[in-house]
Amino acid sequence: MVLVHDPQSIDRALAPGAALDTLEQLRAEGKLRWIGISDRGHDTLRNAIRTGRFDSILTFGDYNLIRQTALPLINEAWKAGLGVLVAHVFLAGLLAGPDPAVRVQGRGIPEHLRPDAVLARDWWLWARERDVSLRALALQYAMRNPMVSTVLVGADSPDQVDEIVAAALEPVPGGIWSEVEKRIAAQARLA
């Protein structure tokens, strides 16, 4: 799969002789199998879905325990038969497991994520009270959605790869997921 990544405009990627034409030629030659697009803008991704020329979309930072704004987009892509990749489920480490308050004080958090740090700490405390890994919850929340084809997670070291795989496979008590959905619904009402 090759992704058109964060185009300044969908029109730029779709222009005659531009990226998409080249990628479609490579696909026709059997040099790649799928063509995807990633962008922060949901309108760009919706326009891409509607062209019928893409096989997948990648959305990031907007489908996780704190934000679910990509859900309508995910639904639209899935109904159109596209694969859906989601990324940034740990929100720059806020939902990766350690106390988010320490993360904010230590390495710092991008300014646009600072409001999420409070909610992340609430999630961390909630998970700790239930003796459940926040990392496992954050990762498996996205993985549980049948409309999500792939969850992309970055790692800085082999140890982090092992930790991520362990979180993906970690057993989570069944009743937790109904509690997670209730918390998410409550968050949405407050937003």
Query: Which pLDDT does position 49 carry in this prediction?
Result: 95
Query: Which pLDDT does position 55 carry in this prediction?
Result: 97
Query: Which pLDDT does position 104 carry in this prediction?
Result: 60
Phi, psi values for residue 53, rounded to 5°: -105, -5
Query: Which pLDDT does position 174 carry in this prediction?
Result: 81
Beta carbons of 65 and 158 less than 8 angstroms apart: no
**Domain spans of the chain, in order of start:** 55-190
**CB-based burial of residue 23 (10 Å sphere; 0-12 exposed, 13-18 middle, 19+ buried)?**
buried
Query: Which pLDDT does position 99 carry in this prediction?
Result: 83
- Residue 109: which of 92, 125, 121, 97 has the closest Cα? 92
- 83-87 and 150-152 beta bridge pairing: parallel
**What are the structure tokens assigned to 9, written together?**
């405009």
Chunk the chain into consecutive blocks of 10 residues (it has 191) and report each block's average pLDDT, rounded to whole numbers: 80 83 95 93 92 95 94 97 96 86 65 82 95 96 97 92 95 93 89 65
SS3 (DSSP) at 58: strand
CATH code 3.20.20.100 for 55-190: yes
- 2-5 and 83-87 beta bridge pairing: unpaired
Helices (runs of H) and strands (runs of E) counted in the chain: 9, 5
Query: Which pLDDT does position 100 carry in this prediction?
Result: 83
